[in-house]
Amino acid sequence: MRELAQRYAEVALSDEQKRIRTLWRMHNSLKETEIPIYIRAIPFHEDPDFPRLKCEDPVLRQFEYWLVEMLYRSQVGDDYAFDPFFTVNASHILLNNDIWGLPVQYSSKVDGGSYVWDAPLKKLDDIEKLVVPRHVIDEIETAKRYEIISEIADGILPVTVDRRPAWFNWHGDIATDIARLRGLEQIMWDMIDEPEWLHRLLKFMSDGILKSHDEAEAAGDWRLASGYNQAMTYAEELPDPSADTSPVSRKDLWCFMPAQEYTLVSPTMHDEFMLQYQMPIMEKFGLVSYGCCEDLTEKIDILRKIPNLRRIAVAPAANVAKCAEQIGRDYVVSYRPNPSQTICCGFDPDKIYNKLITDLTACKGTICDITLKDVETVECHPERIKQFVQIARKAIRKVQGD
């Protein structure tokens, strides 16, 4: 484990990584740079050369997997930024062992495949069963994790504990959990049939998330390692991520806020039944990255209400040219090619190159990056990942050189 940690440190402290961190600082601050490339998802299990894990202890095994995953990534050739420290995630105490106090039952016929779930908010009165969030750290379990990783990392890189609240990212965007609790189709009916009840539910969740964030800040539990933006959390306006254990304000951090479940909801109803409740949460942070897989083509106007917005996702289903025209240079265009049309279902280098040329040309004049995400498979051809990066570099040189 110490050998793996040492190898990671060599990558993180390299001159190349210093260049990459500078690239992202400038890029996320809306400065002209070479277009960064970020391979967000890699199906490691399809590569027969991916190292087998040796640790049996759960904490060690999780850290071992992260290390070998990062070292694998270091060979891809994209612009992934390796932080020069190790992070231990704090353990949280939740009422009823669930984020909102109502356990959700999932079932799947295939391990790791698609699934269905039983949404527990079946009746309107079931809203009374939800519990108000409270930010509580399991200090004993967290200290145990920290001691284990610190022993490995001793003399190699600093270790920090990420003590941010459990209601952050996917549990802090409202959209993910409201669909889990109520059911996606039912939410759409509620917008028409029970709007007052839905507004009550949204307000309860928004207030609860904000409460947990406030409690974490009062406890000094936001740290520079706590930010997240579904890319690299470097920007000139914010302090760099670091192992510094000093408490910070949310104004020093990135916030990631998607609403994938609302992709088929109109801009007006998205604003009424989601964005206005996300807004109080986002306003507390320094910078905001909005969107994941949802098509935001018709929603750029309403997103401009977010005062600290910096990045907007342009998903595979979005109209790239229309999004780029609306975004201009006001925000980063987080352009996301369709993985099924690039490396997941066959591999045609010419087709990939031509598609990238078309979309990057449409983004010319913007501050754009390439994020290849949701790569569920490469059909057991792991070399496609590196090849995609090489093709993307070629397309970038062509477009930026014109």
CATH code for the domain of 384:
3.20.20
Query: What is the span of the domain harbouring residue 290?
Result: 2-92+135-164+221-401
Mean pLDDT of 156-177: 97
Instruction: Give the pLDDT band (50/70/90) at residue 342.
Output: very high
Q: Is residue 150 domain-resident? A: yes
Residue pLDDT, tens place only, 138-152: 999 999 999 999 999
Q: What is the share, in percent, of the chain residues with pLDDT greater than 90?
A: 95
Query: What is the predicted pLDDT for the residue at 97?
Result: 81
Can you tell me the mean pLDDT for 252-267?
A: 97
Does residue 312 carry a pLDDT above 90?
yes
pLDDT band at 131 (very low <50, low <70, confident <90, very high): very high
Residue-level pLDDT at 109: 84
Nearest-angstrom CA–CA distance, 163 and 146: 12
Q: Is the pLDDT of residue 112 over 80?
A: no
Domain membership flag for residue 160: yes
Q: Is the pTM of this model over 0.85?
A: yes
C-alpha span between 402 and 378 (Å, rounded): 32
Number of domains in the chain: 1
Half-sphere exposure of 75 toward its Cβ, with a 13 Å CA cutoff?
Answer: 12
Average pLDDT of the chain to the nearest whole number:
96
When pLDDT is averaged across residues 51-64 and rounded to a whole number, the result is 95
191 lies in some domain: no
pLDDT of residue 200: 98
> Is residue 97, in this structure, part of any structural domain at all?
no
Model pLDDT, residue 113: 80
The region of weakest confidence among 101-105, 129-133, 154-158 is 101-105
> Which of 49-58, 111-120, 285-294 shows the lowest mean pLDDT across its residues?
111-120
Residue 139 in any domain: the answer is yes
How many angstroms separate the CA atoms of 330 and 313, rounded?
Answer: 13
- The SS3 assignment for 178 reads helix
Which of helix, strand or coil describes residue 324? Answer: helix
Print burial letters for 102-135: b (CB count within 10 Å at least 16), e (below 16). beeeeeeeeeeeeeeeebbbeeeeeeeebeebbb
Structural domain includes residue 186: no
For 136, 154, 226, the CA distances from 9, given in Å and listed in that order, are: 32, 12, 20
pLDDT exceeds 80 at position 55 = yes
Sorting pLDDT into bands at 50, 70 and 90, what band is 402?
A: low
pLDDT on residue 47: 95
Q: What is the mean pLDDT of residues 383-398?
A: 97
Residue 361 lies in a domain: yes
Q: Is residue 205 part of a domain?
A: no
